[in-house]
Structure 1
Amino acid sequence: MNGTNPRLLPWTGDEGKPCILVTDGTGPLSRLADTVEHVQLEMALGLLGHVDDLLADERATAAQLRFTLARMREALTDVHRIAESRGARLS
């Protein structure tokens, strides 16, 4: 890498705008982004387990389902951003 490779960071800036880092991939901000990506992926995995339990519970309320669906949207947004970032770095 030559230090001019852009990386989509796993968080957004003001008004949901993407954050881009130009990096060689070894600096502290790159390591922080790697850590945040790992946490986001683990959270999404944990949420999937919770969703399985909630869907199996016939007593789940509409409010519980809506809340969980909102969290799933957030997790899917994070996972999509991570996939975009990693895919761009492959090429």
Structure 2
Amino acid sequence: MTVLHHEHETTGAQLSRIRQLADQFQAPAGAFESWCALYSGLEELEFAIMQHINFEEHVLFPRGLQQPATAAEGSSCPLQLRQRSRT
């Protein structure tokens, strides 16, 4: 799990850099609609990835530490991620 924690930290830093380069996802005044759509999509991507990381860190990892995993048993997860509704 140490590798996954490292990947999460690296991904968070990469997303932060994208946000910085994209001026906090604020398109310049007078930007074309496609530019605005790109920034909106980047923000949605950031949200989805951070939601996924949060779910792994706070739900899946603790469960994995509590119960030894066995491939023969299979696994089932009663929780499902819900997509953020677009507004």
TM range (shorter): 0.5 to 0.7
Distance 1:82 1:44 in 2: 12
**Among 62, 67, 71, the residue aligned to 2:33:** 62
- SS state at 1:57 partner: coil
Following TM superposition, where does structure 1 have runs of at least 4 consecutive aligned residues deviating by more than 6 angstroms? none
Q: Report the identity percentage.
A: 5
RMSD across aligned positions (CA): 2.5
Q: CA shift at 1:39, angstroms? A: 2.1
Q: Deviations over 1:8-60 (max 9, x none)?
A: xxxxxxxxxxxxxxxxxxxxxx33322321122112212332243x5262132
Distance 1:78 1:56 in 2: 21
Give structure 1 stretches of 5+ with no counterpart: 1-29
Distance 1:79 1:61 in 2: 28
**Among 54, 72, 77, the residue aligned to 1:83:** 54
Paired residue total: 61
**Among 40, 45, 69, the residue aligned to 2:16:** 45
Q: Partner amino acid for 1:45? A: S
* TM-score, structure 1 as length reference: 0.51
Distance 1:56 1:69 in 2: 9
Give structure 2 stretches of 5+ with no counterpart: 67-87
* TM-score, structure 2 as length reference: 0.53
